[in-house]
Amino acid sequence: MSQSAEAARSSPTKWIVLLVVLAAAVGGYLRFGDALSLDAIAAQEASLRDFQAANPVLVYGAAFAVYVAVTGLSLPGAAVLTLVFGWYFGFLAALIMVSFASTTGASLSFLLSRYVLRQSIQKRFGDRLHVFNDALARDGAFYLFTLRLVPAVPFFVINLVMGLTPVTLTTYWWVSQLGMFPGTAVYVYAGATVPDLATLSANGVGGIVSPQLLLAFVLLGLFPLLVKFALRRFRPQPADASDQA
């Protein structure tokens, strides 16, 4: 009885938190969605770079917060943001920021799933939860590392379902940080090879084709295949029955 009463009292709070988060996401998209289009950003390219030079802390902080919000609330556009940040901030700065922002957003989604949306997530992904738990029991953190390297499962599903597993937040954070880093580096590099958004907006990709850009797209295509090959080669193998005997 006490557990039922506690669940009844906490349920309205969870729904209030969820509604506030959804309202903030929808409001932000309606307010700034058009401003984040490629045409709008290209039209303000020179002003954006001047503003960055004059206000670096503000620009980096705002970009970090936007990326955390997009990934944490499972909103569409994370891949596009990664490309845009690679173009805007340059490879190294964007790589560091996106790497930590994506892990922070994933951890936020993980916590929302564990403490706010547990019941609804369990109903929606209950069948996958058994698969995740069995794989974690068998392979431990290496299973999460594999999921992060090979995008066979959408990242937002990983964030939500992992929140219902016994994985600790600390383990989830550092494994996600390492596992997502190679893919992040490839996407940031692809964005950093784009020299001019105005040309891209006017002429499409054909207007800015370069050896560096072609290499970036080749890496984007080959990366999952290379990771799968490496995982098959280095994945811990279970002991044979003869060895156990």
Could you report the per-residue pLDDT of 199-234, keeping only the tens digit for each?
656 655 555 566 766 776 677 667 666 766 766 666
243 domain residue, yes or no:
no
Which of the given ranges, 100-104, 145-149, 217-221, 222-226, has the highest pLDDT on average? 100-104
Which of the given ranges, 66-75, 97-106, 189-198, has the highest pLDDT on average? 97-106
53 domain residue, yes or no:
yes
Q: How many domains does the chain have?
A: 1
21 domain residue, yes or no:
no
10 domain residue, yes or no:
no
Asked whether residue 143 carries a pLDDT value surpassing 90, the answer given is no
For residue 32, give the nearest of 72, 62, 57, 52 by alpha carbon.
62
Total residues found in the chain within this entry: 245
For residue 37, give the nearest of 68, 69, 81 by alpha carbon.
81
What does each C-alpha distance from 105 to 8, 72, 159 come to in angstroms? 29, 4, 9
Cβ neighbours of residue 66 under 8 Å, at least 6 residues apart? 81
Asked whether residue 157 carries a pLDDT value surpassing 70, the answer given is yes
180 domain residue, yes or no:
yes
Specify the pLDDT at position 98.
95
5 domain residue, yes or no:
no
Q: What is the mean pLDDT of the segment spanning 60-75?
A: 91
18 domain residue, yes or no:
no
134 domain residue, yes or no:
yes
Say how many CA atoms lie within 13 Å of 6 toward its Cβ: 3
Q: What is the mean pLDDT of the segment spanning 131-140?
A: 78
Specify the pLDDT at position 79.
84
Range of the domain at 227: 33-236
What's the pLDDT band for 103 if we cut at 50, 70, 90?
Answer: very high
